[in-house]
Amino acid sequence: MSKDYYKILGVEKNATADEIKKAFKKSAMQHHPDRPGGDEKKFKEANEAYQVLSDADKRAKYDQFGSDFEQQGGFGGGGSWDDFMRSARGQQGGGFQFEGDLGDIFGEMFGFGGGGRSRGASRQSRGHDIQVDVELEFKEAAFGVEKNIHLRKQSTCDVCSGNGAEPGSKLDTCSTCKGQGQVVQMQRTFLGAMQTVVTCNDCQGRGQKPSKKCKHCNGTGVVQKDQNITVKIPAGIDEGESVRLTGYGEAAAHGGQSGDLYVRAHIKPNKFFHREGFDVFTESEISFPQAVLGDKIEVETIDGPVKLVVPEGIESGQMIKIKGHGITHLGRTSRGDQLVKIKIRVPKRFSREVRKKLEELKGDL
């Protein structure tokens, strides 16, 4: 009989990969046999369901043919709980096989190293990200601009180039982790004693230590200093959007990866132009005769003044589009439009002669 993997994990058929992963972690924690009220059978069913639904190709076949699409009795369903735990720890497990990121999931849940992570992989620290705000004029945001930003931040030590060693001295292999950058520790959990892989505190994950510490940075590889950075603001950036500069954040101690710099844009209001998306909106005032008879007027755009044809009989509040005079689309060369809102100016005072002519035209208008 075909199994309903979606029902086993408690998700809908249109569930996303992330929703399936979260549902599996919840089910695994609920049913693992070493927990009070745990159920090994349900645990193994959840594992089987996840290994199918987390794989796009297997999921498509399952949706079409059911759980027997590969004539299997499940994915690794024949092993014992001990087999499962050995497999989760990256050891030999007779009845269980982990696919994709399943081992990583159990590493997160139970605190042991698993999945595809290498025990010898370095887990050095990463520097902090930095966010700064820049103020832009309307046209600077429309066409792009370069801005100089002054920062005081943790930066790589110039004397030792970030390795923490005094110039002329060498880096020795860490005796604690034997150059692996990580050490294995035993940790007691409700599942019993388990091995955990942690970053070596002695070398901070580098696998090496300086034989003599740099005097300028005391062996950390970083110092606090001022730095000027030129940032290219792209044409079309909008209020609140950010430019990311990878590696321009704070440097990490002991040769780790630097953080990123995020430059967030704030655009000053402009009394002539108003932006909505990539379109620019302005207003232009015309006289009553111009509205009736039509005319050609000069209007201001972000590119400078242009001539605009006002059709006869235009009404107040009507919009006229000037194509291609808007904001540059971010990352492209095309541009939005400018929309000019027409306002008809009605004089409060006029001469007797004008009044007489208006009275004569009153019946015709």
* pLDDT tens-place string over residues 225-236: 999 999 999 999
| Pair 92, 71: CB distance under 8 Å | no
More confident residue, 64 or 215: 215
Mean pLDDT score of the chain = 81
| Pair 336, 326: CB distance under 8 Å | yes
| Pair 210, 228: CB distance under 8 Å | no
Q: Is the pLDDT of residue 66 over 80?
A: no
pLDDT of residue 205: 81
Q: Is the pLDDT of residue 242 over 70?
A: yes
Q: Is the pLDDT of residue 114 over 50?
A: no
More confident residue, 79 or 364: 364
Task: List, in sequence order, the alpha helices (H) in 89-204.
Answer: 102-110, 138-143
- Identity of the residue numbered 84: F
Residues of the chain with CATH 2.60.260.20: 274-362
Residue with tokens 């399952």: 62
Residues of the chain with CATH 1.10.287.110: 5-110
pLDDT of residue 45: 87
Q: CATH: 3.40.30.10, 2.10.230.10, 3.10.20.30, 2.40.50.100. Which one for 130-267?
A: 2.10.230.10
Per-residue pLDDT of 312-328, as tens digits, reads: 999 999 999 999 999 99
Per-residue pLDDT of 261-306, as tens digits, reads: 999 999 999 999 999 999 999 999 998 889 988 999 999 999 999 9
pLDDT of residue 78: 43
Please count the other Cβ atoms lying within 10 Å of the Cβ belonging to residue 308.
19
Which helix (H) or strand (E) segment holds residue 299: the answer is strand 295-301
pLDDT band of residue 112 (cuts 50, 70, 90) is very low
pLDDT of residue 116: 40
By percentage, how much of the chain surpasses pLDDT 70? 79
pLDDT of residue 189: 60
User: Which of 221, 231, 236, 239 is CA-nearest to residue 260?
Assistant: 231
pLDDT band of residue 43 (cuts 50, 70, 90) is confident
Per-residue pLDDT of 89-110, as tens digits, reads: 444 444 444 444 454 555 555 5
Please count the other Cβ atoms lying within 10 Å of the Cβ belonging to residue 72.
12
More confident residue, 354 or 304: 304
| Pair 255, 221: CB distance under 8 Å | yes
Which residues, at least 6 apart from 337, have a Cβ–Cβ distance to it below 8 Å?
279, 280, 321, 322, 323, 324, 325, 326
Q: Per CATH, which fold does 274-362 belong to?
A: HSP40/DNAj peptide-binding domain (2.60.260)
pLDDT of residue 90: 44
- Report how far residue 8's alpha carbon sits from residue 11's, in angstroms, rounded to the nearest whole number: 8
Cα angle: 54, vertex 57, 58; to 5 degrees: 65
Among the residue ranges 47-56, 78-87, 249-258, 331-340, the one predicted with the least confidence is: 78-87
Residues of the chain with CATH 2.10.230.10: 130-267
Cα angle: 353, vertex 359, 360; to 5 degrees: 95
Q: Is the pLDDT of residue 113 over 50?
A: no
Axis-axis angle for helices 40-53, 17-31 (nearest 10): 170
- The CA-based diameter of the chain, rounded to the nearest angstrom, is 106
| Pair 100, 108: CB distance under 8 Å | no
Mean pLDDT, residues 111-130:
57
Which superfamily does 5-110 belong to? DnaJ domain (1.10.287.110)
Per-residue pLDDT of 187-218, as tens digits, reads: 666 555 667 788 888 888 888 888 899 999 99
Per-residue pLDDT of 151-179, as tens digits, reads: 999 999 999 888 888 998 888 898 888 88
Q: And the tokens for 28?
A: 């695994």
